[in-house]
Amino acid sequence: MTDRTGRSGLVPLVLLGGVLAAFVAGGLTALSGSRPLEALGLPDPGTLTTFGLPIVRTVSEIAAVLTVGALLLAAFLAAPQRSGYLDVTGYRALRSASYAAGTWTVAALLMVPLTVADTLGRPVTDVLGFGRLVALVPRLEVAGAWTVTAVLAVVVFAGARVALSWGTSVVLLGIAVFGLLPVASTGHSAAGGSHDVATDSLMLHVVAAALWVGGLVAVLGLAGRKAEAETQLPTVIRRYSALALVCWIVMAVSGVLNALVRIPLSDLFGTYYGALLLAKTCALLVLGGFGYLQRRHAVDSAARGRRGALLRLGAVEVLIMLGTVGLAVALGRSAPPLVGVAPPSRTEVVIGYDLSGPPTLSRILFDWRFDLLFGTAALVAAALYLLAVRRLARRGDGWPVGRTVSWIAGCAVVLIATSSGIGRYSPAMFSMHMAEHMMLAMLAPILLVLAAPVTLALRALPVSGKDAPPGPREWLLAAVHSTPARWLTHPLVTLPLFVGTYYLLYFSGLFEAALPSHPAHLLMIVHFMATGALFFWPLIGVDPAPRPLAPVVRLGLVFASVPFHAFFGVILMSTKTVIGGSFYGGLALPWVPDLLADQRLGGGLAWATGEVPLIIVVVALVVQWSRLDERFARQSDRRAELDGDADRAAYNAMLREMAGGSRSNSDDAGTESEDRAESSDLPSASGPSAPHAGK
């Protein structure tokens, strides 16, 4: 890699890795001689689709990885200018991301007709045509996923071409990462038993791989430019090294979980699918060894200005990584072995697992199914909070115990709502879904915002030096004071989001359309928690809000939301139409003979449990209001001690001056009346013996 452009060596390396990945994907597909849907008796779609699909998908995934890596460099690895605009390194990264996103868009669009042809078992020329694709794509989940991916990729492409600020690069990175998920949530992982665990683990695996592989390519590109590497490379390598270790751990754990769900341990040996899994596992272990060498030798050498070891070792690592992408594509084209596997039940096919009986109290409390995404997030969030509190204690700073208890309780609510019997039964019963909804949208956000996590993070995270690049603390401050944060916390936005989306979701058909989809279930959980946090943060949150509200306004917003919640529960209890009736009826759970009665129970839960958190909010507001008055009184007392009660002395002096002025005016008025009486030879109004007012 030359220092003049930084890309003359990186581009051939990426192209070589892409050719290697395409060769691996196409070659293994040819060796397998099978398609995932061949077991269904579908005809052969032709050579173009059979070999073109894995090659185009390989190109798409490599382009997606490069897009994410370039945006990661611009957003969090390289330091921007103090003005908030990207410097040369960030701008170059955005330009590279635009090229990769353009390739990603084209490949994703090509995958739409190829996926349709492969699914239907027809030549790709038979399905080409706008009218045919418009009619077929909505009926095929995988084709629809590729369409959504293409739309997100083109948004990233357009944004990367015009963006100049650091904040925009962060938003584009979020869109690019989200663009990886639609396709990851379809395929083998979305079908059959335990597809909830399989889908969640695959999404974690894909995101971690994109950040790891794409980040390494972006770091090598920076290392190849001497002028920029001298100033940016030490910080970039330090940050990427920490991120790469986390990504490797996530990939290893999620990969093992996904493999255990898809194939028994006995089938790892002796089956084609098992052989591919073993090959991918070996590649991951080899890459872990390369990562260790990078952290042990190459990173230190690059930090001291010697970049040769990093470039050589990183080039080999990139080739292995891209080759592993081709291996993953071939694995996705191969169906897991079904020998010795009993056919799943109807419930297992629909929601991913069986239910052992009605949701009794013991099953709700003890029949757990750990949620890989939100259960893990709750445990990690609790651990990070406790570590931050411990860090404050070690340096002698205190932290209120009540806030810690509130955070742990909020994390426990999320864990119970998603992983206990409530979370287990929520996809199959409307009443249990509504219980989960209320816990995640009402109770958990209240407890979490009362714990002041932003304030704790700002106190625990180190402050970047005057000339040092901004770090996590500065990123958090920028996010809190950003324009989107101010807009999202506006009362005219939070109130409709918090209460209005309930009516839109459940009474517009969106909920019924989302019921069969596990990714849609995940999005609903994210929506419940996000809208709850945005609503309660400005109201009762201890953290500084982007848009501070007066106490009266806060109380008014709380009482304004009460009728909407109550009316929502009343509608559910009184309606005679079953929401999601076709889905729940298809499950045919024997302990839910009356779907309308179960829905009314859910409405009762929404009406009853929705009021309890609002009472907690009112109590919290009153307590905060009283503490604000006490704090103001203490501040006034301390100020009085320091200045000798100057404010009270000035106030008393003003009163004396006003009183003195009033007496003086009265004297003047009395004198004038006497003068007028004497001049007119008339007796005074007070009589001759009365004392004069002026004497």
The lowest-confidence range among 276-290, 416-430, 658-672 is: 658-672
Could you tell me which of 486, 622, 616 has the C-alpha nearest to residue 562? Answer: 616
Question: Higher pLDDT residue, 662 or 89?
Answer: 89
Same domain, 233 and 366: no
Residues 195 and 241 in one domain: yes
Residue 559 counted as domain residue: yes
Q: Are residues 393 and 324 in the same domain?
A: no
Q: What is the DSSP letter of 298?
A: I
- In this predicted structure, the answer to whether residue 178 has a pLDDT above a threshold of 90 is yes
Give the lowest-confidence range in 5-9, 512-516, 684-688: 684-688
Q: What is the percentage of the chain residues whose pLDDT exceeds 70?
A: 80
Mean pLDDT for the stretch of residues 550-559: 80
Quick one: three-class SS letters along 180-209? CHHHHCCHHHHCCCCHHHHHHHHHHHHHHH
Q: Which structural domain range is residue 222 located in? A: 10-336
More confident residue, 637 or 610: 610
Q: Which of 282, 305, 336 is the last residue of a domain?
A: 336
Q: State the pLDDT at residue 330.
A: 75
Q: Is the pLDDT of residue 686 over 60?
A: no
**Together in a domain, 21 and 126:** yes
Whether 129 is covered by a domain: the verdict is yes
Q: Looking at 28-37, 377-386, 534-543, which range is the least confident one?
A: 28-37
pLDDT band at residue 150 under the 50/70/90 scheme: very high
CB 228 within 8 A of CB 307: no
For residue 41, pLDDT over 70 is answered with: no
- Quick one: DSSP state of residue 443? I
Q: Is 598 in the same domain as 471?
A: yes
Q: Distances in Å between the alpha carbon of 78 and those of 211, 238, 612?
A: 15, 11, 47
Which pLDDT band, with edges at 50, 70 and 90, does 692 fall under? Answer: very low
pLDDT mean over 71-76: 94
Return the SS3 of 426: coil
Provide mean pLDDT across the span 574-598.
91
pLDDT band of residue 677 (cuts 50, 70, 90) is: very low
Q: If you average pLDDT over every residue of the chain, what do you get? A: 81
Residue 551 token pair? 């106490």
pLDDT of residue 5: 40
Q: Cα–Cα distance between 173 and 74 in angstroms, integer?
A: 9
For 132, the token pair is: 């045919």
**Residue 272 tokens, joined:** 């084609």
- pLDDT at residue 652 greater than cutoff 50: yes
DSSP secondary structure letter of residue 165: B
5 within a domain of the structure (yes/no)? no
Predicted local confidence at residue 374, as pLDDT: 95
Higher pLDDT, 118 or 30: 118
Question: Residue 85 phi/psi, 5° resolution?
Answer: -90, 155
Q: What is the structure's pLDDT at 98?
A: 96
Residue 87 has pLDDT above 60, yes or no: yes
Q: What is the phi/psi pair of residue 59, to 5°?
A: -60, -40
Tell me if 341 is assigned to some domain.
no
Same-domain pairing of 304 and 360: no
Burial (CB < 10 A; 0-12, 13-18, 19+), residue 268, is middle
Q: What is the model's pLDDT at position 8?
A: 52
Per the domain annotation, does 95 fall within a domain? yes
Same domain for 157 and 187, yes or no, is: yes
Q: Please, how many CA atoms are within 13 Å of residue 674, restricted to the half-sphere of its CB?
A: 15
CA atoms of 108 and 153, how far apart (whole Å): 8
Question: What is the per-residue pLDDT for 633?
Answer: 56
Q: Are 417 and 371 in contact (CB under 8 A)?
A: no
318 within some domain: yes
State both tokens at 275.
């052989």
Q: Output phi, psi for 263, to 5 deg.
A: -150, 140
Round to whole Å and give the CA distance between 598 and 603.
9
Question: At residue 666, does pLDDT exceed 70?
Answer: no
Supply the pLDDT for residue 449.
Answer: 92
Residue 315 sits in the same domain as residue 412: no
Q: Which two tokens stand for residue 170?
A: 């962060």
The amino acid at 326: G
694 within domain boundaries: no
Rounded to whole angstroms, the Cα distance separating 344 from 192 reads 7
User: What pLDDT score does 650 carry?
Assistant: 64
Tell me the mean pLDDT in the region 273-282: 77
Task: Give the number of domains in the chain.
Answer: 3
pTM value is 0.83
Average pLDDT over residues 68-95: 91
Residues near 66 by Cβ (< 8 Å), separated by ≥ 6?
Answer: 14, 96, 97, 100, 214, 217
Over residues 256-275, the mean pLDDT reads 74
Mean pLDDT, residues 505-517 taken together: 90
Residues 315 and 431 in one domain: no
Mean per-residue pLDDT for 39-48?
Answer: 69
In this prediction, residue 4 has a pLDDT band, given cuts at 50, 70 and 90, of very low
Instruction: Return the number of other C-beta atoms located less than 10 Å from residue 689's C-beta.
Output: 5
Give yes or no: residues 464 and 484 share one domain. Answer: yes
- Residues 184 and 131 grouped into a single domain: yes
For 348, the 3-state DSSP assignment is: helix
Q: Is the pLDDT of residue 363 over 70?
A: yes
Question: What integer is the mean pLDDT of 322-348?
Answer: 72
Which of 295, 310, 336 is the last residue in one of the domains?
Answer: 336
Strand extents, DSSP E, 410-540: none
Is residue 17 within 8 Å of 319, Cβ to Cβ? yes
Of 281, 309, 336, which marks where a domain is finished? 336
The per-residue pLDDT for 407 is 96
Place of tokens 């293994």: 28
Q: What integer pLDDT is reported at residue 689 of this predicted model?
A: 37
Please tell me the distance from the alpha carbon of residue 241 to that of residue 300, in angstroms, as a whole number.
11
Q: Which residues contact 186 (CB under 8 A, 6 or more apart)?
A: 141, 142, 145
Reference 96, options 10, 203, 166, 190; nearest CA is 10
Does residue 213 lie within any of the structural domains? yes
> In the predicted model, what is the mean pLDDT of residues 586-612?
88
Do 79 and 150 share a structural domain?
yes
